[in-house]
Amino acid sequence: MRLRLLVSYVGTAYSGWQIQEKPKPPPTIQGALEAALFRLTGQLVRVHGSGRTDSGVHAHGQVAHCDVPDAREGFDWRHSLNAVLPHDIRVLEASPAAADFHARKDALRKTYAYQFWQDRRFLPPQLRPFVWNCGPLDLDLMRKAIPYLLGTHDFAGLRNAGTDVENTERTLLDARLEQLPPCEFYPPHAPMLRLAVTADGFLKQMVRNMAGLLAACGQGKMEPEQIPAQLAALDRRAVPSVTAPPEGLALVRVEYPATDPD
Amino acid sequence: MRLRLLVSYVGTAYSGWQIQEKPKPPPTIQGALEAALFRLTGQLVRVHGSGRTDSGVHAHGQVAHCDVPDAREGFDWRHSLNAVLPHDIRVLEASPAAADFHARKDALRKTYAYQFWQDRRFLPPQLRPFVWNCGPLDLDLMRKAIPYLLGTHDFAGLRNAGTDVENTERTLLDARLEQLPPCEFYPPHAPMLRLAVTADGFLKQMVRNMAGLLAACGQGKMEPEQIPAQLAALDRRAVPSVTAPPEGLALVRVEYPATDPD
């Protein structure tokens, strides 16, 4: 039976989603899920995610699939997995899927969120694992930059090295930047900013490079008008902004084609 | 020079506020602050908190005082302390105080918050260190219980063993229970509840016992009308509800008499 999993995790303690084949494999989300499935089934059940998340990156709604023994029909996979998983990884849903459902190949759209904190002098300790403390940002300048990124582009310039993906064209369907409500417990501070981006797919570290690019605009280090030329260079080295750190990033949602009711 | 510190911490990794004199002392907030001050001054600087917080309890605004070498006048204590403290402890303010300011003896009022999560099947991993996952609660029943606790009472029945405080009378000045906005990233769930209580002082684990008592009312295990008789018994064993776990609790604010401007 094929299972579709909806998974939420705090990525701080993990070396990303994907299992690393090393003599001493570091902790990974996929590894933790496969270890939990081994405890429940006594078998190696391979877990296929919608995509990798980097070391330290979080997810509110990562999607994965795996094939579990049929004999377990009626078994409460969600409850059982949560009972044996570490507490920083939680299964929100575990439902039977079509035999050919594929978490990565079938994904239509993904949405990521990136959080910016604007006070270098104080970062609430509760928020530290979830934000980039990059100092003050000019929201208007950042918002001016967004239209240059929307739509279909070759995003090779916002891809970090280390993948052999051939087609680097992606369509950025939506990008929004909003101020979050203040943390009620702390003295008045500059609001936290959250970027939410939706695309038909993302290249390696593309969201973190986009966040770095927008922050550079918001810090006045770059003009939004420079973005088209930098994208057109198709080279990460042509883009002077930094790759934003992983802790600010979370995979929010993966969307699939609607399935016909049985 | 006497310093007044306003300190925020995530208590998860600490055995509470107070230093424990043991051969292998466990990590504590006070210990971390004194270690940071030792790094900055080369001296043992004793840190006096407004009160202890238990193992695993958090603070948004703990207040403490300490005496630092006069020669450091003009030194940026806040910045310097944050540079050497672990990231789960942050100094919000470090300001010169009157020579006789005493964080514990001068405190007029304290406010604590306690957070209840109502879905046993799913707890967002980000929230786990900060809530008690106690299942569904009836907010109206809990709110009915609050008037029985407000005002001046002998709260010996809500005190856990292990202190030799003689006067167990305290005045509960305010107690509010509110629903927090939903976690935007997750499917519809029962709202999180937050209890905020203000008193002239609290006995050992009094807030956690109060949270347990209110939860028992909200779960229908106890009638709010039973509270006065149980308080009057002046014995923790007479109160059937549990001591709520520490992770839901945070010290929000400590209030002091207004000081005259110099």
pLDDT tens digit string along B15-30?
Answer: 999 999 889 999 999 9
How many other CB atoms sit within 10 Å of the CB of residue A219?
Answer: 16
Q: Answer yes or no: is pLDDT of A259 > 90.
A: no
Most A CBs within 10 Å, among B91, B121, B130, B131, to test the A interface: B121
In a domain, A259, yes or no: no
Most A CBs within 10 Å, among B12, B87, B122, B130, to test the A interface: B122
Give the mean pLDDT of chain B. Answer: 93
Token reading at B143: 């709110």
Q: Answer yes or no: is pLDDT of A185 > 90.
A: no
pLDDT digits (tens, 9 = 90+) for B212-250: 999 999 999 999 999 999 899 888 888 888 999 999 999
In a domain, B262, yes or no: no
Average pLDDT over residues B159-178: 91
Instruction: Tell me the H-state helices in chain A.
Output: 29-41, 77-84, 139-149, 206-218, 227-232
Query: Does residue B156 share a domain with residue B92?
Result: no
**Among the listed residues B154, B150, B162, B60, the one whose alpha carbon sits nearest the alpha carbon of residue B114:** B60
The whole-number pLDDT of residue A237 equals 86
In a domain, A98, yes or no: yes
Query: Does residue A231 share a domain with residue A159?
Result: yes
- Listed residues B51, B76, B105: the one ending a domain: B105
CATH code for position A61: 3.30.70.580
Average pLDDT over residues B131-140: 96
Confidence of residue A164 (pLDDT cuts 50, 70, 90): confident
Would you call A65 helix, strand, or coil by DSSP?
strand
Confidence of residue A260 (pLDDT cuts 50, 70, 90): low
pLDDT digits (tens, 9 = 90+) for A25-42: 999 999 999 999 999 999
Average pLDDT over residues B185-191: 80
Number of domains in chain B: 2
The whole-number pLDDT of residue A186 equals 80
In a domain, A166, yes or no: yes
Confidence of residue A183 (pLDDT cuts 50, 70, 90): confident
Q: What residue numbers bound the domain in which A136 lies?
A: 109-254
Residues of B with CB under 8 A from a CB of A: 8-10, 58, 60-61, 78-79, 82, 87-90, 92, 121-126, 128, 130, 185-187, 250, 252
Query: Does residue B232 share a domain with residue B126?
Result: yes
A201-204: list long-range contacts, CB under 8 Å, 24+ apart.
A201/A107, A201/A110, A201/A170, A202/A51, A202/A110, A202/A112, A202/A170, A203/A155, A203/A156, A203/A158, A203/A159, A203/A163, A203/A165, A203/A168, A203/A170, A204/A159, A204/A160, A204/A162, A204/A163, A204/A165
Would you call A164 helix, strand, or coil by DSSP?
coil
pLDDT digits (tens, 9 = 90+) for B27-72: 999 999 999 999 999 999 999 999 999 999 999 999 999 999 887 7
Average pLDDT over residues A154-179: 91
Nearest to A126 among B10, B92, B187 (CB): B10
The whole-number pLDDT of residue B185 equals 81
The burial of B141, by beta-carbon neighbours within 10 Å (0-12 exposed, 13-18 middle, 19 or more buried), is given as: middle
Query: Does residue B203 share a domain with residue B127?
Result: yes
Query: Does residue A119 share a domain with residue A60?
Result: no
- Listed residues A80, A105, A130: the one ending a domain: A105
The whole-number pLDDT of residue B235 equals 87
More confident residue, B73 or A45: A45
Compute, in degrees rounded to 10, the torsion defined by CA atoms B48, B53, B54, B58.
Answer: -130
Chain B residues in contact with A10 by the CB 8 A cut-off are 125-126
Would you call B147 helix, strand, or coil by DSSP?
helix
Query: Does residue B145 share a domain with residue B74?
Result: no
- Listed residues B75, B105, B135: the one ending a domain: B105
pLDDT digits (tens, 9 = 90+) for A188-247: 778 899 999 999 999 999 999 999 999 999 999 999 999 999 899 888 888 888 999 999
